[in-house]
Structures are given as C-alpha cells and as structure tokens.
C-alpha cells in the first residue's frame, strides 16, 4: 500500500475512534444526573442574566440615552465586582450544592423586587437600586457552577465535555433570554422581564436540592469563627494564589479582559438598534440574541476540545475572534450583516470560554478554586463596568462607528500580549497518559475529581533508581509520595525484610499524612521506575476531599498496625 494511502487510512481510523470516544463521553455527561440538573438550573440563570440586563438598559436608554445607560451599568456592576470575590469564599468553606441553591433563591427575590419597582411606577432611583441588588445577586452562581463541575465529572474528558455543555447552555441562554426580552419589550414594560425570571429562578433552586456532591466541612458550625473576617482572609488567600501562581493569574486576566468587550456591546447594542441600524428598541434584545445564537453554534465546536491536552490556541484564537466581527460592524453597518457578525463573535467567545474555564480548573488547586473563580467573576463584572462606561466615551471621541471598530480590535491586542505566557501554562498542565493512569490507579486518589488527578500527575517527577539504591530510609523526614511504575523494591523495618513490592504499588504516605519520620526503608531490588509526588500537592489533594482522606487514613492505619509499613 502506498505510504500516502496508508497514512490517510490511519488518519481516518484515528478520526473515527476519536469521534466514537467523544460520543461516549458526551453520552456519559448526559447520563450524569448531577450534571443534568446543574445544566438545567444554569440554563435558566443564563437566560435571566442576559434578559434582565437588556431590560434595564432599555429602561435607562429610554430615560437618558447612551450616557444614562452606561452610568447605570457602571453603578450596577461596580458593587457586583466588589462583592463577587467575598461572596465566592463561601464556595470553598461551605457545601457547594447549598451555596448554589442559596444563590438561585437570592436571585429570585432580587429579580422580584426589581419587577415590583418597575411595574409599580417607583422612582428611577428605586428601580436602579433594586436592579443593582439583582446584579449583585448573580455573582455567586457562575463560580459555584465552575467549582461544582470538577466534583460531578468522573474523568478529565468528561470535565471538558461538561464545560463545553455549559458553554452551549450559556449560548442558548444568551440567545433565548434577550430574544424573549425583545418579544416582551415590544408590547410590555421591562418589569415583566424581571417578574418572569424571578419565577423561573425558583425552579433552578429546586433543582439544586439533593444534588449528589460530597459535602465539605461547614465552617459555620465551628464555634468562634468570625465569618466576615474569614471571608476577608479567604479573598486574600485567593489573591495570594494568583500572585504566586502565574498560570491561574494569566488565565483569569485574559478571560476577564473579554468581559470589557461584553460591557461595551451591551451599550452598543442599544445604540446600534436605535441610532445606527434603526430596528427599534426590541432590536437591542435581538442583537444580543445573535451573540447567543453564535455561542450555541460555537459550543458545538467546543466539544472538539474533548480529549485535547493543549488549550492555548482555542483560548487566544477565540478571544481575538470574539472582537474582530464587532469591528466589521463599524465598517459595514448593515442590519443583516450585523446579526451575522455578532453571531460569529459569539461562536468564538463560546469556544474561548469553554477552553479557558477547563484550563483554569486544571491549573488552580481545588481548595482555592472557588475563590479564584470568585475573583474571576469580580474582575469580569469590573470588566463589564469598564466596557459599559468606555463605550459612550469612545462614541464621543471616535463617533459610533469608530468606537465600535476600536472596541472590536482590542481583544486581538490582548491575545497577542498573552501568547507567550499561555504557551507555558499548557506545557505545565500536560501530563503523559501513563502518569495519569498510574496516579488514578492508586486507591486513595480514585475518588478525586479528574482535574485534581491531572494536577497531581502533571506536577509529578519520573525517575529511575538502579538496583541496590536506597529510595527511602527509615527514620528520615518524608518529603515525597512514591509510585512504582516498573521493577521491584524491598521493604525493610529495623533491617528485616517484610515484603517486596512491584509495579502499581506505592509507599511513603504515612510520613506525609502523620507528619512523622519514615517508618520503613525501601530499596530497589531491580532497576525501578518511580513516579514521585511532592508533599504539598499530595496533602492538598487528600485533605480537600473527604473520601480520599478517609481512604488514605485507613491505608496508613492498616500499615502501621502491621509489621510492614513502607512509610
């Protein structure tokens, strides 16, 4: 067979196998009841978030044009940006399913109050105050959703698929929510939009009752805990994590930067509908819906990320292409083309969001993930505020079309600046399949979320010891946990052989778990291949997960109670 034909045949077989694997993973996601319930609740949230935003901006624009719309957006978003990191500390301190349930209930109440203010003819200040409360109430949902996914997904590929599904839901919400708002605004008061979603968000809360997620230790039950002080401390810990770890920091900054354009588009959409494209106030909702339609299509492309180890290009290409279609609207301001361009931008943003959140879940430690996502949410809200206030300023300086072009090309500049740092992140989180399999096979690691296993494997060190090498000495301090990948080792206590261990076994956990010196010596009988995990990530993984911690303690107890403890 000619080489080219053989290559094509092999490529086709690999492609078919990949499609089959992805199909199996997506079926597993669909069959995961926890992920299904989380998805439906999040879909209602996504519709409510975007529909209510269109409704309040239309209300403000009708009163004072783009300036009032921009100022109202700023007033609503700045408190949300400040509150988000503090609110998200609850995700790492309390059971996450209860946090997201409470978030939906609070949103329902806040939207209901805004509806009452609007429908009751309250003064604008009252309406804006209620809408600001509603804006603040949404900041906990997305971080809680992101922190829950790694615990509901059962493998790394399923986590990627779950994030792609969330991106699909976000796109669907951005499509349906504003479109529904547009329909309602064509014949009714904006308050009706808030009232509808106040009711629907109650349904999201009901879906979260009994969500099958392992409970965390409830800090509220510990006597003497100062919760406000604890929240402040937790935010500082999250900021310290971002300061000390360039990977999570860069992902957060890049993803937050994309929200600046969102904020500008929220204001531009009303300006485009009324003053540039002349398609009526309901057209603002339909323009934003075009982004959602594109996001829905793009989320289907995001499923191609399943199984992909490197996510740099999808994030940065998606970021760049998120803004460029908007610039084209400034160049060709025609209604039909505007919908197409916004849909293309929405598709790119959807892929960027799925890849970026998966990457962040991989590189941020699980015990700080909620706080990191909360900081991302806060920075995202701040980005929306910056974009919403920058949009009218750009209009004053550059005119409507010039402002749109300038905003559109900004994301490409950010992507270019972030390129070098992102390449380093991808290299750091990619672990060989054999290492992942070795870590996952250890009983105490098996219950861990896939992203945690990936971090453990990615940070491990593989090395070879010649026959006769002392790998661990009894009485010395323990600094690493070891997995035997190949070869045979001998375990001795007080100089006496107690057993041998081969490939797939492990040792060294007792000294790390109990903070004591090594309880046995381990020597290579043959040349052995060892995979070693440092003390800090080992303890962080186990102490953050009850089942894994219990298994590890049981293993340590069993080994200490016998004569053969290789720890």
Q: How much is the pLDDT for 390?
A: 86
Contact in structure between 293 and 343 (CB atoms under 8 Å)? yes
- State the average pLDDT over residues 408-419: 88
Q: How much is the pLDDT for 18?
A: 42
Average pLDDT, the chain: 77
Q: Take residue 268 and report the two structure tokens written for it.
A: 């531009």
Q: Which of the two residues, 205 and 4, has the higher pLDDT score?
A: 205
- Residues of the chain with pLDDT > 90, as a percent, come to 6
pLDDT band at 240 (very low <50, low <70, confident <90, very high): low
Which tens digit of pLDDT belongs to each residue from 439-494? Answer: 878 887 877 766 677 777 777 888 898 988 899 888 888 888 899 999 999 998 88
If you average pLDDT over each of 12-21, 89-98, 287-296, 419-428, which comes out highest?
287-296
- Residues of the chain with pLDDT > 70, as a percent, come to 79
- Tell me how far apart the alpha carbons of residues 249 and 269 are, in angstroms, rounded to a whole number: 31
Q: Take residue 499 and report the two structure tokens written for it.
A: 């057993």
Q: How much is the pLDDT for 229?
A: 42
Contact in structure between 266 and 57 (CB atoms under 8 Å)? yes
How many C-beta atoms lie closer than 10 Å to residue 172's C-beta? 18
8-state DSSP, 209: T
| Secondary element (H or E) of residue 151 | helix 141-152
Distances (CA, A) of 493 to 452, 487, 496: 33, 20, 5
Q: How much is the pLDDT for 7?
A: 35
Angle at 264 (CA atoms; ends 261, 265), nearest 5 degrees:
85
Contact in structure between 127 and 114 (CB atoms under 8 Å)? yes
pLDDT band at 356 (very low <50, low <70, confident <90, very high): confident
Which tens digit of pLDDT belongs to each residue from 83-101? Answer: 777 776 777 677 778 888 8
230 pLDDT above the threshold of 60: no
- Tell me how far apart the alpha carbons of residues 397 and 418 are, in angstroms, rounded to a whole number: 28
pLDDT band at 342 (very low <50, low <70, confident <90, very high): confident
Distances (CA, A) of 374 to 139, 363, 379: 8, 15, 9
Task: Classify the phi-psi angles of 515: left when phi > 0, otherwise alpha if psi is within -120 to 50, otherwise beta.
Answer: left
Q: Which of the two residues, 12 and 478, has the higher pLDDT score?
A: 478
Please name which of 99, 156, 25 lies closest in space to residue 448, comparing C-alpha atoms.
156
pLDDT band at 201 (very low <50, low <70, confident <90, very high): very high
227 pLDDT above the threshold of 50: no
pLDDT band at 282 (very low <50, low <70, confident <90, very high): low
217 pLDDT above the threshold of 60: no
In sequence order, what are the beta bridge partners of 496? 493
Q: Take residue 12 and report the two structure tokens written for it.
A: 């086709």
| Secondary element (H or E) of residue 342 | helix 335-363
- State the average pLDDT over residues 260-277: 80
128 pLDDT above the threshold of 80: yes
Q: How much is the pLDDT for 199?
A: 92
172 pLDDT above the threshold of 50: yes
Q: How much is the pLDDT for 225?
A: 39
- Tell me how far apart the alpha carbons of residues 390 and 302 are, in angstroms, rounded to a whole number: 30
pLDDT band at 559 (very low <50, low <70, confident <90, very high): confident
- State the average pLDDT over residues 184-210: 88
Residue whose entry in the numeric block shows the structure tokens 């995202």: 380
Q: How much is the pLDDT for 222?
A: 39
């Amino acid at each position: 067979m000619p080489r080219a034909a053989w290559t094509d045949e092999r490529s086709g077989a690999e492609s078919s196998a990949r499609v089959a694997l992805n199909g199996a993973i997506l079926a597993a996601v669909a069959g995961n009841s926890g992920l299904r319930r989380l998805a439906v609740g999040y879909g209602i949230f996504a519709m409510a978030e975007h529909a209510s935003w269109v409704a309040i901006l239309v209300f403000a624009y009708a009163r004072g044009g783009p300036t009032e719309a921009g100022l109202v957006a700023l007033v609503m978003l700045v408190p949300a940006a400040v509150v988000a990191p503090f609110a998200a500390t609850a995700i790492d301190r309390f059971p996450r399913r209860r946090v997201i349930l409470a978030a939906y209930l609070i949103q329902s109440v806040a939207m209901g109050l805004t509806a009452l203010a609007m429908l009751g003819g309250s003064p604008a200040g009252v309406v804006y105050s209620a809408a600001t409360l509603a804006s603040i109430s949404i900041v906990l949902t997305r971080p809680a959703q992101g922190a829950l996914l790694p615990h509901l997904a059962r493998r790394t590929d399923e986590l990627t698929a779950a994030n792609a599904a969330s991106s699909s839901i976000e796109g669907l919400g951005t499509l349906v929510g504003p479109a529904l708002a547009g329909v309602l605004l064509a014949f009714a008061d904006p308050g009706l939009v808030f009232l509808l979603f106040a009711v629907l968000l109650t349904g999201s809360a009901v879906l979260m009752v009994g969500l099958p997620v392992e409970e965390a230790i409830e800090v509220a039950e510990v006597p003497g805990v100062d919760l406000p002080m604890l929240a402040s401390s937790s935010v500082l810990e999250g900021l310290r994590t971002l300061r000390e770890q360039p990977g999570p920091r860069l992902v957060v900054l890049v993803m937050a930067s994309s929200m600046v354009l969102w904020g500008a588009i929220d204001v531009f959409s009303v300006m485009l509908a009324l003053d540039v494209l002349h398609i009526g106030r309901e057209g603002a909702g339909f323009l934003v819906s075009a982004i959602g339609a594109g996001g829905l299509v793009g989320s289907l492309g995001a499923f191609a990320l399943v199984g992909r180890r490197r996510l740099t290009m999808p994030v940065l290409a998606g970021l760049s292409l998120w803004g460029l279609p908007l610039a084209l609207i400034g160049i060709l301001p025609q209604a039909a083309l505007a919908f197409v361009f916004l849909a293309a931008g929405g598709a790119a943003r959807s892929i960027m969001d799925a890849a970026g959140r998966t990457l962040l879940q991989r590189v941020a430690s699980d015990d700080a993930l909620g706080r990191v996502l909360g900081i991302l949410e806060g920075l995202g809200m701040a980005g929306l505020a910056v974009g919403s206030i920058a949009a009218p300023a750009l209009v004053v300086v550059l005119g409507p079309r010039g402002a749109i072009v300038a905003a559109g090309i900004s994301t490409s500049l950010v992507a270019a600046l972030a390129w070098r740092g992102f390449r380093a992140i991808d290299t750091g989180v990619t672990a060989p399949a054999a290492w992942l399999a070795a870590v996952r096979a250890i009983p105490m690691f098996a219950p861990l979320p896939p992203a945690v296993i990936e971090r453990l494997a990615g940070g491990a060190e593989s090395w070879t010891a010649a026959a006769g090498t002392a790998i661990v000495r009894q009485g010395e301090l323990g600094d690493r946990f070891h997995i035997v990948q190949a070869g045979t080792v001998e375990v001795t206590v007080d100089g006496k052989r107690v057993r041998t261990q081969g490939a797939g076994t492990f040792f060294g956990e007792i000294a790390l778990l109990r903070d004591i010196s090594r309880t046995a010596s381990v020597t290579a009988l043959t040349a052995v291949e060892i995979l070693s995990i440092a003390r800090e990530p080992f303890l962080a993984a186990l102490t953050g997960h009850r089942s894994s911690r219990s298994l590890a303690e049981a293993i340590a107890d069993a080994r200490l109670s016998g004569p053969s403890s290789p720890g």
